[in-house]
Amino acid sequence: MKKISFILNGEKRNAYVEPNDLLVDVLREKLGMHSIKYACGRGDCGACTVLLNGKGVRSCIILAIEADGQEILTVEGLSKDKLTSLQESFIDQGSFQCGFCAPGMIMSATELLNKNPNPTEEEVKEGLSGNLCRCTGYTPIIKAVLDVNEKDVDKK
Amino acid sequence: MEEFKFIGKSVKRLDEKEKVTGAAKYVDDIDFGPNLLYAEIIESPHPHALIKSIDTSEAEKMEGVVKVVTGKDFPYKFGLYMKDRYIFAQDRVRFIGEQVAAVIARDPRIAQKAAKLVKVEYEPLQPVFDPIEALKEDAVIIHPDLGNYPHVPWFFPKGGTNLTHRLKLRKGNTEKGFKDADFILEDTYRVPRYAHCCLETHIAVGLLDYSGRLTVWASTQSPYTQRNLFADALAPLGFSHKDIRVIAPYVGGGFGGKAGVTMEIIATALATTVKGHPVKVMWRRDQEFYNTYMRQQVVTKIKAGVKKDGTITAFEMANYWDAGPYAEYGANVVNASGLSATGPYRIPNVSIDSYCIYTNLPAAGPYRGFGYSEMSFSVESHMTRIANAIGIDQVEFRRKNGIKEGDTVAYGAPMNPNGLLEAIDKVADEINWGKKEESKDPNKAIGKGLSIFWKAPAMPPNVTTSAFIKFNEDGSLNILVSGMELGQGYLTVMAQVAAEILSVPIEKIRVELPDTDRNPYHWQTVASHVTWASGNAVKRAALEMRDKIFEVVHAAYHYDKDSLYLEDEKVKCKLHPSFELPLRDFVINGIQTKDGTYRGGAIVGSGSFMPEFTSAKQDPETSQGGHPNVHYTVGAGAVKIEVDKQTGKIRVLKAVEAVDAGKALNPRNVEHQIIGGLLQGLATVLYEDMRFDENGKILNPNFTDYKIPTFLDIPDEVVPIIVEVPQPDGPFGARGIAEHTMIPAAPIIANAVEDAIGIRVKTMPITAEKIAMAVANNKKEVTDFLMIMKK
């Protein structure tokens, strides 16, 4: 077991991990971040996406020790006070159905909007193409992301 | 038209805030505490073999292993419509991946390591993968005991063969019908297997507590049906239904795959061996592909005859369904889709034979569409070819033969009110039907395709549902139902139904997810029937509460009950316009009268619903005489595509789908079903391509090689259209639409490909590879079927 430390959703957190522990397991099982979903285990679907130093990563194919000393953001971190404009937009559009892809999708979309506050439809599709959703046909998600343009973009 | 305040409005989803904040809990998000154990499954490496011996001694010795369980511990069968499935394999295995034993350990890694130490000795048997081969007289028999398996009365298994059910339908006289025809077309179509690909894999956690209560948390569409099947399968252990509790938190996608019982029985059975310890069984992505249900493969032979004027005179069909080795649910797919396999056409002479056949591919069963998507591919391809062959426009052909209210369906029952013709006209109009379009790129061709569809809920005739509603002190409501929120918007729509009757706004209503200890009975969330059935139960419960409210007000104020009504959370009176009594003032603690005493008490409502006109008592030789279906939902779809003749790649320029919702209780939810379901259907024809090796082992059980659509694979434009011809017995006229949205996708693409480049593809999927090869080889028809790789 090795002790690692990182900033998780703005707070300093520690965890004791095995060298082969995956980030997704440590965040879910040891640190209670259950928004992150495990769905494919090989980086195909994006349900486990978290932001590592602001960049979207697949926490199911990253070792926990790689996050030592870094900064991690999950949906729990976005939802602490009031919701972000993006989350509000998803609610307004009724974008998600089963909701299992939502936390990962929201983190990818947050990264996209942080880098590019006014994306085109093509840029939204390209930016989110690593996140799979089986329910929605994607259109209501695209609509919600584009709709954030109309509002204040939360530059969290 | 009646004016509604909540019905027919696109109110926001009740569950959306939980889902966008990560607060929504799915089974694996629940903390089961430090006593939680993990199970690893030992799976068969053979498609068909006898089990000679199982040696668990080495695994049991490993530190951290709590128990190793094999088929000897649970010699029980289970199944929804037929008991042919085993909790663990007994004397034989019947597909690659079948569960043979399980290691229960304190840590998942220890369980995985120990599972490798379980030694199983097999004697391989000849496998069979092709349904038609499996029907041959000399075929290897997959279930030697088939003749003894208990099943519902409308199944007809044939012991000593691999035929687990045969649906036989005869209407009119097809021989005469073909004599009357001016043109007859006969052909064969083939649809491979598909996977549901829910983002959340199957998971179940079982716990037998020290008092003997059994609790199961499952990702499920069917909490009550699971409880019933657990009690039934484990009957020798003596559980009463009241002592089994199934809790169903949010589900990360169902699509039929989480209906009935599959792997949940493993967690349940294992829990009974380790009292006081919850046991978790969670499928990895590859297990999700091969050990729940797949969609069945089918070979369809159709012969249809028409007159010169386009009137269909006869329709003859044989469907050979590959159910895999366990058909306890899949046989009902065969049954239900067989009864309705003509599609929504008025045809006087019909002969349909549907065969449900055991094979050694993984078990197959319910998937959104329940067999209708597969039938639609063949029938709608065939009808298009016939119309084109006799020179009648396809839209005209479908308008002419499309089924109308009061027409007799193939099994003799009358057709319900429906907006089929309106749906056809609307999609044809939206896609500019009849206007030929040319691509600017000479290597590309534009084509259009259209098809119509119908589907009825496939359910036992006495299927039932119920609802409880209770008021809280502030006049807010909790609705307790056991239908499942699969993403379709069930919770929201149930709230809208109660809101409309009780005048309580949506923001003041919670609808609770199922827990069989608390929420009343509901069969399963399948068949696109919950809006209709559960909506009726919730409506009845709300009406009962309204009656009680009026009763209390009458007792306290002596106003005539008929003069009372609810508006804006208040009781009002037509005869006394100044009277207004807020619900929150009395729905719990009653109304005080002049003498200081109170009238009333906490107001609760209950309602249940069961169709009382359905029957499965049809003649097994003709399928005539029963009334197996409650009603059909109809619709039409169309597409405009661009085909690249060099690469074979298809780009969907525009997709349109109209569905008759009866009354769209929440129009945006209906539109979202159309957009999502249509893409799921388009994926089956354009992208998803399941492959097995020559031993029946799936080669692509992952999202790298089994391609489900990404953001970059959606149509350029999708137009959802709602048609509303009310369903007389539906809540506010509503009927279900969710499964239906997937059904027209495959034939509209097949028809559009032929329109674009003159090539008829008769096997799914219609991949770029198939088209490019056909163009290169100058073929006009494609019959290649690639699901099982040759040696």
Rounded mean pLDDT, A123-137 = 98
Q: Does the distance separating the beta carbons of A37 and B26 come in below 8 Å?
A: yes
Could you tell me if B92 and B120 are in contact, meaning their C-beta atoms sit under 8 angstroms apart? no
pLDDT score, position A154: 46
Q: What is the pLDDT of residues B691-722, one digit of tens each?
A: 999 999 999 999 999 999 999 999 999 999 99
Q: Does the distance separating the beta carbons of B677 and A45 come in below 8 Å?
A: no
Domain range B32-125+202-282, CATH class: alpha beta
Question: What percent of the residues of chain B are helix, what percent strand, and what percent coil, each to the nearest 5?
Answer: 30, 25, 45
Question: Same fold for the domain at B32-125+202-282 and the one at B297-459+616-782?
Answer: no
Rounded mean pLDDT, B742-767 = 98
Rounded mean pLDDT, B641-662 = 98
Q: What is the pLDDT of residues B435-474, one digit of tens each?
A: 999 999 999 999 999 999 999 999 999 999 999 999 999 9
Q: Which pTM does this prediction carry?
A: 0.98
How far apart CA B772 and CA B778 sit, in angstroms, is 10
Rounded mean pLDDT, B619-648 = 97
How far apart CA A39 and CA A20 sit, in angstroms, is 19
- Is 70 exceeded by the pLDDT of residue B1? no
Q: Checking phi first, is residue B260 left (phi over 0); if not, alpha (psi -120 to 50) or beta?
A: left
Q: What is the pLDDT of residues A71-107, one digit of tens each?
A: 999 999 999 999 999 999 999 999 999 999 999 999 9
Chain A residues within an 8 Å CB radius of B26: 37, 100
Q: Counting Cβ atoms within 10 Å, is residue B374 exposed (0-12), middle (13-18) or buried (19+)?
A: buried
| DSSP codes, A55-115 | EEEETTSSBGGGGTT-EEE-HHHHTSSSPPHHHHHHHHHT--SS-TTHHHHHHHHHHHHHH
How far apart CA B56 and CA B273 sit, in angstroms, is 16
Rounded mean pLDDT, B569-598 = 97
Could you tell me if B398 and B424 are in contact, meaning their C-beta atoms sit under 8 angstroms apart? yes
pLDDT score, position A156: 41
At A125, is the secondary structure helix, strand, or coil?
A: helix
- Is 80 exceeded by the pLDDT of residue A149? no
| β-pairing verdict for B718-723 and B650-660 | parallel
> Confidence class of residue A151 from pLDDT cuts 50, 70 and 90?
low
pLDDT score, position B790: 83
Could you tell me if B347 and B401 are in contact, meaning their C-beta atoms sit under 8 angstroms apart? yes
Query: What mean pLDDT is reported for chain B?
Result: 98
ipTM of the complex: 0.97
pLDDT score, position B216: 98
Domain A2-77 has CATH 3.10.20.30: yes
Q: Does the distance separating the beta carbons of B13 and A44 come in below 8 Å?
A: no
Domain ranges for chain A: 2-77, 85-148
CA of A93 to nearest chain B CA: how many angstroms apart? 8
How far apart CA B688 and CA B699 sit, in angstroms, is 13
Q: Which of B284, B488, B710 lies closest to A41 in CB terms? A: B284
Rounded mean pLDDT, B483-498 = 98
Taking CA–CA distances from A91, the nearest residue in chain B reads B16
pLDDT score, position B114: 98
B25 close contact with A: CB closer than 8 A = yes
Domain B16-23+463-609, what fold?
Aldehyde Oxidoreductase; domain 4 (3.30.365)
pLDDT score, position B69: 98
The phi, psi pair for B333, rounded to 5°, reads -60, -45
| β-pairing verdict for B244-247 and B214-218 | parallel
Per DSSP, what are the bridge partners of residue A110?
Answer: none
Q: What is the pLDDT of residues A29-62, one digit of tens each?
A: 999 999 999 999 999 999 999 999 999 999 999 9
pLDDT score, position B450: 98
CA of B577 to nearest chain A CA: how many angstroms apart? 37
Rounded mean pLDDT, A133-155 = 85
A43 close contact with B: CB closer than 8 A = no
Q: Using a pLDDT cut of 70, give the percent of chain A over it.
A: 96
Q: What is the pLDDT of residues B84-108, one digit of tens each?
A: 999 999 999 999 999 999 999 999 9
pLDDT score, position B96: 98
Chain A residues within an 8 Å CB radius of B677: 137
Domain ranges for chain B: 16-23+463-609, 32-125+202-282, 297-459+616-782
Chain B residues within an 8 Å CB radius of A138: 679, 709, 711, 714
- Closest Cα to residue B609, out of B550, B533, B719, B544? B533
- Is 90 exceeded by the pLDDT of residue B359? yes
- Per residue, what are the HEC states of B219-241? CCCCHHHHHHHHHHHCHHHCCCH
How far apart CA B721 and CA B9 sit, in angstroms, is 16
pLDDT score, position B482: 98
Amino acid at B230: F
Taking CA–CA distances from A137, the nearest residue in chain B reads B676
How far apart CA B256 and CA B252 sit, in angstroms, is 12
> Confidence class of residue B150 from pLDDT cuts 50, 70 and 90?
very high
| DSSP codes, B237-295 | G---GGGEEEE--B-S--TTTTSS-STHHHHHHHHTTSTT--EEEE--HHHHHHSS-BB
Domain range B297-459+616-782, CATH class: alpha beta
Residue keyed to tokens 């190793």 = B68
pLDDT score, position B683: 98
Q: What is the pLDDT of residues B109-139, one digit of tens each?
A: 999 999 999 999 999 999 999 999 999 999 9
Q: Where does A85-148 sit in CATH, by number?
A: 1.10.150.120
The alpha-carbon radius of gyration of chain B (Å, integer) is 27
How far apart CA A127 and CA A56 sit, in angstroms, is 10
CA B361 to chain centre: 21
pLDDT score, position A152: 55
pLDDT score, position B791: 73
